[in-house]
């Protein structure tokens, strides 16, 4: 898909971060948008930032709720007067470091439900509309934690990592699935490194209902210490879609970490590996 003009793009998690910047960039390139997020105020702000020459619809939606997603689909069809879409960005996600063994089960499962079931259920609901179009592309956001299940030796990261590994496997399996049953549809797997977004703060609010001063400070450090902005990430993703690439790493840190894990996978969870990450200047805000 070389041109996004007059295409219809569905973007989950469009109220902030990469989802918002994907929406803005696509609107600038003439794509019509159907956006969803849990935060209605921030979602409305995204709509206001988009180019008003394109058609933009919004829907407040929890991507882990299949019935809500079906309502989002129906609202999209009604708003755009078309029962096909061209682009599906499974972008919504949250992240916690809740321990599988000692932490809250509800927090763990909420993270997994949004990050994996959100991709799976949104795909179930919207991919038939992509397949029904003349051309289409599905873009699923995994993470560097989809190939390296760690934030370093001092923190757990099982829910988010398990979900992102699932997204990676699902997306890679779709490559052949589409070749067999829908050869006009492409697929891309997005694996961002450390991107300057509000995911850390948003996740705490969604999972715990509030943001403590300590969590707020950590979230600010995460956002402000990132080597790649969400706008830069959006540009890399869209370039990858235009080039038809199924594997899209975002950020130099993602490329370095990917190469290091591939070079010596047996050592990837040892302290010596983390030392090498620090020496390479990779993920210093995250890995401790």
Q: How far is Cα 14 from Cα 91, in angstroms, rounded to an integer?
A: 8
∠ CA(223), CA(227), CA(11), 5° rounding?
A: 65
The DSSP bridge partners found for residue 206 are none
Are 99 and 149 within 8 A, CB to CB? Answer: no
Q: How far is Cα 3 from Cα 76, in angstroms, rounded to an integer?
A: 21
Interhelix angle 158-181/105-112, nearest 10 degrees: 30
Q: How far is Cα 238 from Cα 87, in angstroms, rounded to an integer?
A: 11
For residue 210, how far is the Cα from the chain centroid?
22
Which of 160, 170, 178, 273 is labelled catalytic?
160
Q: How far is Cα 64 from Cα 66, in angstroms, rounded to an integer?
A: 6
Question: Per the structure block, which two tokens stand in for 140?
Answer: 């699923």
Active site residue 120: no
Q: How far is Cα 268 from Cα 99, in angstroms, rounded to an integer?
A: 20
**Nearest-CA neighbor of 166 among 112, 91, 96, 246?**
112
Are 145 and 190 within 8 A, CB to CB? Answer: no
DSSP 137: E
Question: Per the structure block, which two tokens stand in for 186?
Answer: 């492409």
Catalytic residues: 160
């Amino acid at each position: 898909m070389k041109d996004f003009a007059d295409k219809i793009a569905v973007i989950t998690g469009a109220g902030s971060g990469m989802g918002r910047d994907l929406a803005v960039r696509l609107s600038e390139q003439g794509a019509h948008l159907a956006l969803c997020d849990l935060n209605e105020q921030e979602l409305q702000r995204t709509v206001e930032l988009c180019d008003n020459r394109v058609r933009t619809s919004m829907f407040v939606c929890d991507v882990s709720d299949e019935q809500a997603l079906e309502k989002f689909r129906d609202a999209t069809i009604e708003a755009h007067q078309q029962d096909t879409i061209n682009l599906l960005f499974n972008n919504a996600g949250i992240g916690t470091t809740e321990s599988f063994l000692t932490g809250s089960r509800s927090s763990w499962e909420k993270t997994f439900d949004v990050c994996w079931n959100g991709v799976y259920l949104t795909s179930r609901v919207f991919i038939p509309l992509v397949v029904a179009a003349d051309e289409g592309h599905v873009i699923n956001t995994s993470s560097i934690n989809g190939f390296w299940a760690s934030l370093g030796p001092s923190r757990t990261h099982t829910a988010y990592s398990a979900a992102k590994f699932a997204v990676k496997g699902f997306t890679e399996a779709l490559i052949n699935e589409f070749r067999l049953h829908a050869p006009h549809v492409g697929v891309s797997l997005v694996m961002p490194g450390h991107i300057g977004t509000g995911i850390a703060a948003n996740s705490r609010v969604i999972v715990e209902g509030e943001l403590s001063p300590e969590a707020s400070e950590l979230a600010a450090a995460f956002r402000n210490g990132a080597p790649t902005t969400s706008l830069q990430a959006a540009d890399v993703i869209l370039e990858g879609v235009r080039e038809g690439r199924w594997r899209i790493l975002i950020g130099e840190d993602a490329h370095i970490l990917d190469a290091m894990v591939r070079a010596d996978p047996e050592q990837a969870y040892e302290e010596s590996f983390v030392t090498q990450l620090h020496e390479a200047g990779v993920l210093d805000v995250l890995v401790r």
